[in-house]
Amino acid sequence: MSKVAFLFPGQGSQFIGMGKELYERESVSKRIFDEADEALETKLSSLIFEGDAEELTLTYNAQPALLTTSIAILEKFKEAGITPDFTAGHSLGEYSALVAAGAISFKDAVYAVRKRGEFMNEAVPAGEGAMAAILGMDAEALQQVTGKVTEEGNLVQLANLNCPGQIVISGTAKGVELASEQAKENGAKRAIPLEVSGPFHSELMKPAAEKLAEVLDACELKDTNVPVISNVSADVMKEKEDIKAKLIEQLYSPVRFEETINKLIDEGVTVFIEIGPGKVLSGLVKKVNRRLKTIAVSDPETIELALQTLKEEYGNAE
C-alpha cells in the first residue's frame, strides 16, 4: 500500500475568501474557525472571508489565518477516517503538521502562531531586512556567495531550500541586495526580491525565537501520533522536547523543504496531499520528483476528489 504524507503551506498562500465555502457547508470546519475567533478574541474569520487583503497579509494575521484554514480542511479527512503516514509543513505550515499529528492542540497552536507572527514582525524594523528568491543556482555555490557577503559585514544566509534551482536568501536589506547581485554574476538565472515584512529564517530572528520559547512553555506539547518531518533537520521529530527545540530553532534556520521531500520519498511516500490554500507545495514536490502523485485540497470539491482518489487508488479511505 502506498504511503501518504499531508503537507501544509506557509505564508504567501493566503487569500481573502479561503475556507469560506467550508465554513458555510461543513459543521466540523465551521467549528475550527469559531475556535480561532474565541482563542484570539477577535473575528479572524471575518478578516479571512471578507477582509482587506493587505491586512490579511500582515504576518501576525496571515499565520493564524492559514493555520485555521488548513486545520478546517484537515477536519474533513479526520471525519473520513484518514490518517497520514507522515506530516510536514513549510515554515508556519509545520504548526499545522504538528496539530495534524496530535502534538499540539489547535487552540494552543493558533495562539502560538499569532504571537510568532507578532514577534517576527517586531524583531527587525521595517525596511532593514529583506528576502529574495535565487533561481538557477545550487546551494553550495550560493552558500559561498552569502558567506562572503556576511563576512564583509552584511548578514545574509540561505533561508528556504525549496527545490532544485530555487533557494530563498534572507538577511539585512544590504546583504540581500549584494548577495543577489553576486549570485547573478556567478551564474544564477534570476534574483527576485520578495514582498515580505522581515528577514525570516535568518539570524536576525533570534530575538523573536527567545520570545517564542516563552509562549511555547505555556503550550501543552505532546509526542506525535504520526512522524513529522522537521524543517530544521529534514528528519523525523516525535518527542515533545525535540519538537519545542526545533520550533524555536526554526525561526532563524533554513527551511529544508527539498530535503524534507527526499526524506519522505526514502520513507516510501508516493502520495503528497497539500492541505490548505494554493498549490505552492505541490509545485515544489513535482520539481523534486515529477513522478510523485500530488493532490492539492482547499475546498469541498477538491476534498471530495482527494477522498475519492485515496479510496480508489490507495485504499486509504474507509
Inter-residue contact 72 to 8 (CB < 8 Å): no
- Mean pLDDT over 278-294 rounds to 96
The rounded mean pLDDT for the chain is 95
Q: What kind of fold does domain 3-123+204-314 have according to CATH?
A: Malonyl-Coenzyme A Acyl Carrier Protein; domain 2 (3.40.366)
Weakest-pLDDT range from 36-50, 113-127, 259-273: 113-127
Residue 316's pLDDT is 59
Catalytic residue among 13, 70, 91, 170: 91
The dihedrals phi and psi of 295, each to the nearest 5 degrees, come to -135, 120
Classified as helix, coil or strand, 135 is strand
Classified as helix, coil or strand, 204 is helix
What residue spans define the domains of the chain? Answer: 3-123+204-314, 131-196
Residues 6+ apart with CB under 8 A from 287: 163, 164, 165, 166
Tell me if residue 201 is catalytic.
Answer: yes
The dihedrals phi and psi of 293, each to the nearest 5 degrees, come to -85, 125
pLDDT digits (tens, 9 = 90+) for 20-66: 999 999 999 999 999 999 999 999 999 999 999 999 999 999 999 99
Residue 71's pLDDT is 98
Percentage of the chain lying above the pLDDT 90 cut: 94
Residues 6+ apart with CB under 8 A from 167: 133, 134, 137, 139, 142, 158, 160, 161
Position 195 pLDDT exceeds 90: no
42: cell is 477577535
Amino acid at 74: L
Catalytic residue among 201, 202, 230, 298: 201
Which one is the CATH code of 131-196: 3.30.70.250, 3.40.630.10, 3.40.50.1220, 3.30.70.1380? 3.30.70.250
Residue 147's pLDDT is 98
131: cell is 528576502
122: cell is 517586531
Number of neighbouring beta carbons within 10 Å of residue 222: 14
Nearest to 152 by CA among 122, 186, 177, 127: 177
Position 318 pLDDT exceeds 50: no
Helix (H), strand (E) at residue 236: strand 236-237
Number of neighbouring beta carbons within 10 Å of residue 250: 24
Residue 82's pLDDT is 93
- As beta bridge partners, residue 170 has 131, 157
Position 1 pLDDT exceeds 90: no
pTM for the structure as a whole: 0.95
Domains 3-123+204-314 and 131-196 share a fold: no
- Mean pLDDT over 80-98 rounds to 96
Residue 315's pLDDT is 65
Position 317 pLDDT exceeds 60: no
Q: Cell numbers 556576511 correspond to what residue?
A: 150
